[in-house]
Structure 1
Amino acid sequence: MPVGIVVRRTPGVTRWAKWAWKVVAVLPGAPPANWRELRREGESVEYHAATLTLDLWSTDTEAYRVALAAKTPGVVVVLRDEPDPAQDVPWRPEIITASPYEGQDYMDSGDGLIELVPMPLSMIGWVRDFIAQHHVEEAFIKRKRDRKRIDLVEDGKGDARIRQLSDVYRAPHGGNQGDVH
């Protein structure tokens, strides 16, 4: 599904950042755009930054179910820190995903501007229909623990050359090898 990315630019609140940027909405079925101005209120401007394709995968239906079960279902939008001098904007829209797991991976990286944006009702219906058509429940299979006794070996407990049990972390000293005590 083609999805328009709406980005708002507002004046920065510190002297180090002239502008604050935030992804504020998505537009399902939007036509192509390249930082087209949508609305201006004083110094605040909203742009239709780009139109990206939202792909759904049958292997990720469990993730989409998690997204729809959230208090506010959303999509994750990733903008990369790659300035476009022709448009005077510091971001390039790169990815949109409905998978909260994939979105979390991008958020963990902290690379770029990453926002969780509320999913419009039409998109919620589209994702719900996709899940209904493609989701297959997978039975949970608990792994069996092997019966090997790992508590019998004390690897890493001091130096094996020391026979004393009182201090297993003491280093051995040799004869005339220049030991420092």
Structure 2
Amino acid sequence: MLPGAGDATWKELRRDGDAVEYHAATLPLELFRTDTEAYLHGLSAKIPAIYVVMRETNDPHPLEVVLATASPYEAQDYADTGEELVEKIPMPEGLIAWIRDYVELHHEDEVFIKRRRDKSRVDRQEDGIGDARIRQTSDVYRAPSKKAALQ
């Protein structure tokens, strides 16, 4: 996480023995009013995080960075497909404050409205059961005979 970083594609930042740290990509972090509940959920975690979605490629670089999101719900959707790799990266304090301000400005609690059951009894009606061409009431599921069909 490098807030405010310039454009880069797999730029080597530091090397320590066999370990190499790269600046793989610079992506915008977009927030949407409809996702404020998800952002609240992410901010309430023990360690708030940004989720980075990546795909394996055949390019010279092993991964393509597809998306950065603050929504744990969106990250879970990508993780469920199994086609992408989702990494959880701790949010810097400034980013936490920015997202919290956004949520305070745009979040609206949804009022829960319990549905009421209709009082009419629909289980007593037998409309559409059986074949209307059969005059017998004893077996309404019996196939009609040729004789009944001709009458």
TM-score by length of structure 2 reads 0.76
What is the Cα-based RMSD across aligned positions, in Å? 2.0
Query: What is the Cα deviation at residue 83 of structure 1?
Result: 2.8
Residue 56 of structure 2 is aligned to residue 84 of structure 1: no
Task: Please identify which structure carries the higher helix content.
Answer: 2
Equivalent residue number for residue 122 of structure 1: 94
Using the alignment, how far apart are the partners of 1:92 and 1:104 within structure 2? 18
Equivalent position of 2:6 in the other structure: 31
Does 2:104 correspond to 1:132? yes
- Whether the aligned pair in 2 keeps the contact of 1:83 and 1:92 (CA below 8 Å) is no
Question: CA offsets, 1:107-152, max 9 Å, x none?
Answer: 1112122111111111101000101111112211123344576888
Letter in 2 for 1:52: L
Partner of 1:162: none
Q: Give the 3-state SS of the residue equivalent to 1:77 in structure 2.
A: strand
Higher strand share: 1
Query: Which residue pairs with 2:33 in the alignment?
Result: 58
CA distance in 2, matches of 1:84, 1:142: 53
Distance 1:79 1:61 in 2: 23
Name stretches of at least 5 consecutive residues in structure 2 with no aligned partner.
125-151
Alpha-carbon spacing, 1:69–1:82, altered in 2? closer, same or farther (3 Å): same
Normalised to the residue count of structure 1, the TM-score between the two structures is 0.64
Whole-angstrom CA distance in 1 between matches of 2:29 and 2:18: 31
- How far, CA to CA, are the matches of 1:125 and 1:147 in structure 2? 50
Report what 1:108 is aligned to. Answer: 80
Counting matched residue pairs gives 126
In the alignment, which residue of structure 1 is the partner of 2:49? 74
Higher Rg of the two aligned structures: 2
> Equivalent residue of 1:27, what SS?
coil
**Fraction of identical pairs, as percent:** 55
